[in-house]
Amino acid sequence: MNEKIDALLRQVQRPARYVGGEYNQIVKDKADVDVRFAFCFPDTYEIGMSNLGMKILYGTVNEMPGVWCERVFAPWGDMAQAMRREDIPLWALESGDALDAFDIIAFSLGYEMAYTTVLDMLDMGHIPLRAKDRPGLKHLVVAGGGCICNIEPMAEYFDLCFLGEGEDVDREVIELYRQAKREGWDKPRFLRAAAQIEGVYVPGLYAVDYHADGTVAAITPTDGAPAKVRKRIVEDFDSAYFPTKPVVPSTEIVHDRVSLEVFRGCIRGCRFCQAGHTNRPVRSRKPETLLRLGKETLENTGYQELNLSSLSTSDYRGLSELCDGLLDYCRPRGISLSLPSLRADNFSMDIMQRVQQVRKSGLTFAPEAGTQRLRDVINKNVTEEDLLNSCRIAFEGGWNNVKLYFMLGLPTETDEDVLGIAELAKKVFWTWKQHAANKARGVRITVSTSEFIPKPHTPFQWEEQISRTEYLRRVDLLTGALARTKSVTYNWHDAEMSLVEAALARGDRRMGPVIERVWRSGGRLESWSEYFDLRRWLEAFPACGLDIDFYATRARPVEELQPWEHMDCAVSRRHLERERARAYEGALTPDCRAGCSGCGAASLLKEGVCRG
């Protein structure tokens, strides 16, 4: 650390997050390295270091000889200000070198609200924002993660994006880059060649035309780029790379524990859920593989907590066996096991009771909607009976803290559905009254609502988002209905951020300048409410000649060409349309195990059949 930086670190909160040097970090000799890769996470160290995808890529890329992947995070406000004041460029943690020392600058994008932070990090690293202003091969700016399924609003900033799971395609692109560097290719030649790799999207190779009303008229590939970019997956997930030697932070982060990814994809087809549709099909690891990986990672990190992660852990076939095996290892060592994302069913409650014998802090359920009618519309296969039954088991078992998550503004929602949330919460309370093991301790039931956001690649991608005023009216309605129920606390997330998220999620290429304008007026780290300011967005959209409601709240005709239709996430448009129609009929669609509904994802597998 040089003295200039040392002086800064003494003035800011929690400086340990800016210096690296953690256990298991990877340092290579620059003399042996021909490709330097900066893995940038457009959020704080505490968030980025909690991200499993980051650990996977850091590990796989560093396995490549001659390639050194380092970590870069967005500094908190105090540090960012100090760095700009002292003109210190953004640096990577391992070497301390500034961003412009790197060949490839890669961003992980899991959340639209991080877009302005991408621009901020590039600028803090003295890297030109737009792809067209980076003519050479050096400073190739790439991106991967969940947001790539519609990255159009950021299209002009990225040279290349990875659609789907990155572990294989990243390495292929790095190899190609190395060849290009060695043979002295120019950037257009490299990008043309990269676009031929499955899973690679080069935004600059597509021309987009618009109708007079602002909708997309055509998306045309050029220079031999594929008409549709097909997402990549790791087919054999059991033997897929898992980071058993992740960097162990020396300062506390959000998820400070081992996170074991039991499977990818989801067998459920909740119609609002983007991850559930873009990560298909399900691919699992064997319990014995997970047991081995879990033990190894615990030994290599010294963590005292292990978490089983996936989109819906209850659906893991080997869950019971895995939990028993892990408990045998963890119990005597005082290591705790946590199981988020469980469903409200008997099987899950049984596992829950075995696993969490000591800490009975809180149980979380996500019925998402207050009435059975609306739960059928969204294909959330949870009945009131399931939920109350799970609550009964929980209360009998000594739990006294239940959290219930709902969305407001789902398609077809009426006031009756909103009031149904209050009814359900009351029934949970009566269940406690009847079945609590120890009533003296009281009960805490928390109801949380957030606003429904229509997302690309879901059956609801064409739906409108209700206005903020309407959301607030429904919040008031629910507040009133819950007013006289003591023991039920109601939290609601403000819809300001949801409006911007909805606009970005379904945005097109014309939004690039909007994002820049918001960033220039101070927007960064906007997933943090203390840094988010809706006014900046409301000012930027019209200033760039666009209307935020055109993107966020407008219901889109099914015939309309959507800005992301050249992204092929393997679930067909036909399936999405069919699911949308079934939603309006209130018809449930079985999960993938009960019966394949022919979504198209099986075509990603060699045998063409899902076995999840």
Question: Nearest approach, Cβ of 335 to another protein (angstroms)?
Answer: 9
SS3 content of the chain, % helix, strand, coil (to 5): 40, 15, 45
Beta strands 140-144 and 160-162, pairing class: parallel
| Region at 14 (left for phi over 0; alpha for psi -120 to 50; beta for the rest) | left
**Cα within 13 Å of Cα(166), Cβ side:** 30
Q: Is 582 in the site for ligand SF4 (CB under 6 A)?
A: no
Q: Is 251 in the site for another protein (CB under 8 A)?
A: yes
Q: Is 15 in the site for another protein (CB under 8 A)?
A: yes
Q: Find all residues with CB under 8 Å of 382, minimum gap 6, and list them.
A: 343, 344, 365, 367, 375
- Return the residue of 382, 393, 402, 610 that touches ligand SF4, per CB under 6 A: 610
How is 167-195 classified by DSSP, letter by letter? HHHHHHHHHHHHHHHHHT--HHHHHHHHT
Question: Nearest approach, Cβ of 270 to ligand SF4 (angstroms)?
Answer: 13
User: Side chain identity at 98, as an amino acid letter?
Assistant: A
Q: Which does 610 bind (CB under 5 to 8 A by kind): ligand SF4, another protein, none?
A: ligand SF4
Q: Is 572 in the site for ligand SF4 (CB under 6 A)?
A: no
Question: Nearest approach, Cβ of 455 to ligand SF4 (angstroms)?
Answer: 18
Give residue 497's Cα distance to chain centre: 16
Question: Nearest approach, Cβ of 598 to ligand SF4 (angstroms)?
Answer: 6
Q: Is 281 in the site for ligand SF4 (CB under 6 A)?
A: yes
Subset of residues 322 to 381 that bind another protein, contact rule: CB under 8 A: 333-334
- Return the residue of 136, 302, 557, 608 that touches another protein, per CB under 8 A: 302
Q: Which does 599 bind (CB under 5 to 8 A by kind): another protein, ligand SF4, none?
A: ligand SF4
Q: Is 540 in the site for ligand SF4 (CB under 6 A)?
A: no
Cα separation, 224 vs 246, whole angstroms = 39
DSSP 574: H
- For residue 232, what are the β-bridge partners? 164
User: Side chain identity at 460, as an amino acid letter?
Assistant: F
Question: Nearest approach, Cβ of 245 to another protein (angstroms)?
Answer: 11
- Return the residue of 36, 71, 268, 280 that touches ligand SF4, per CB under 6 A: 280
* Residue whose token pair is 């091969």: 137
Contact (CB, 8 A) for 162 and 200: yes
Q: Which does 32 bind (CB under 5 to 8 A by kind): another protein, ligand SF4, none?
A: none
Q: How many residues line the site for another protein (CB under 8 A)?
A: 28
Question: Nearest approach, Cβ of 60 to another protein (angstroms)?
Answer: 23
Question: Nearest approach, Cβ of 599 to ligand SF4 (angstroms)?
Answer: 3
> Binding string, 524-563, against another protein, x = CB under 8 A?
----------------------------------------
Q: Which stretch binds another protein (CB under 8 A): 14-22, 84-92, 110-118, 591-599?
A: 14-22
**Quick one: which H or E segment has residue 67?**
strand 67-73
**Quick one: which H or E segment has residue 367?**
strand 363-368
Q: Is 20 in the site for another protein (CB under 8 A)?
A: yes
3-state secondary structure of 161: strand
User: Side chain identity at 205, as an amino acid letter?
Assistant: L
Q: Is 248 in the site for another protein (CB under 8 A)?
A: yes
Q: Which residues bind another protein (CB under 8 A)?
A: 1, 3, 6-7, 9-10, 14-16, 18-23, 25, 248, 250-252, 299-304, 333-334
